[in-house]
Amino acid sequence: MSNPVLTPAAASGPIGVFDSGMGGLTVLRALRRQLPNADFLYLGDTARLPYGTKSPATVQSYALQTASLLVERGVCALVIACNTASVFALDALRMRFPELPIFGVIEPGADAVCEVSRSGRIGVLATESTIASNAYQRAILARRAQAKVFARPAPVLVALAEATWTNGDVPESVVRAYLDGWLGKDGPDSLLLGCTHFPALIEAIRKVADGRLKIVDSAETTARVVAQALGEVAGSRAAGYLATDSAERFSRLAPVFLGECVEVVEMVDL
């Protein structure tokens, strides 16, 4: 299950990053900070988003198609910037592309939250499918057998992020409902954002948590793991964007997740 070491020969192309849609741009943003010289090729499978409410078999089949397109484009490594696809497709992708370093977001997120939690009481918000898979619960308990995991699906946060409705009373009331019962002394001391859409709501989450939870963003922690594994990656600091639907919508929403504008989005068919 461990990743092959990146050989210089393999490191010629861009780093491929994919998600069901735009949420994975939070991972790309963190990756560009960690690997400022590298080239990236991002693919959002916007025609079929979201993955988070779909079955394991469907998500796996979509992820294989998405990854195959990036491999055809010559990527030197692959980052699954989607929690749901990391859960259901990481092993299948590593089997299909054994030479390629492939990174998911679950293990780095679990590592980071286990590190910051003092009490071992750990909260996880993610999509329906990610929570139902128990992947984070298992990954956390594998690192800290005495941990108590509080896990809750938070699908409405995805819709809020996609609607760029990230601040104000309504997002805060949704966040407050999802953190219900978690902010008292019997609740978790740390919170893992287990969906790449959620960092778009970080301000509302911080405001509601009001210092009572250490917030771990799996986008940030994954980027650090990728940077550590790949070492110095040379490139021309370029980023390309592919989507399976709605290039206009992609451009419009990209700043919410990426923090900068994306002007050219190439449409691809899977």
Interface residues with a second copy (CB under 8 A)? 46-49, 53-55, 58, 128, 153, 155-156, 158-160, 162-163, 165, 169-170, 173-174, 177, 245-246, 249
Q: Which class for 130: exposed (0-12), middle (13-18), buried (19 or more C-beta within 10 A)?
A: buried
Q: How far is the CB of 169 from a second copy (least distance, A)?
A: 7
Q: Which is nearer to a second copy, 164 or 228 (CB)?
A: 164
List the catalytic residue out of 76, 114, 195, 261. 195
For residue 155, whether the previous peptide bond is cis, meaning omega lies within 30 degrees of 0, is: no
Q: Where are the beta strands (DSSP E) in the chain?
A: 15-19, 40-44, 77-80, 102-103, 121-126, 148-153, 190-194, 214-217, 239-243, 266-267
Query: What are the φ and ψ backbone dihedral angles of 44, each rounded to 5 degrees?
Result: -105, 120
For residue 236, how many other CB atoms are within 10 A of its CB?
Answer: 8
Q: Which is nearer to a second copy, 22 or 239 (CB)?
A: 22
| CA 26 – CA 97 distance, rounded (Å) | 25
Q: How far is the CB of 177 from a second copy (least distance, A)?
A: 5
Active site residue 114: no
Instruction: Give the 3-state secondary structure of residue 18.
Output: strand
**What type of residue sits at position 226?**
V
Q: How far is the CB of 45 from a second copy (least distance, A)?
A: 11
- The number of residues in the chain equals 270
Q: Which is nearer to a second copy, 110 or 243 (CB)?
A: 243
State the Cα angle at 10 between 39 and 40, rounded to 5°.
15
Q: Which is nearer to a second copy, 15 or 82 (CB)?
A: 82
Q: How far is the CB of 270 from a second copy (least distance, A)?
A: 12
Active site residue 195: yes
Q: How far is the CB of 106 from a second copy (least distance, A)?
A: 21
| CA 237 – CA 15 distance, rounded (Å) | 11
Q: Which is nearer to a second copy, 143 or 152 (CB)?
A: 152
Query: What are the φ and ψ backbone dihedral angles of 253, each rounded to 5 degrees?
Result: -90, -20
List the catalytic residue out of 76, 82, 114, 261. 82
Candidates 68, 31, 23; CA nearest to 222 is 31
Catalytic residues, which ones?
82, 195
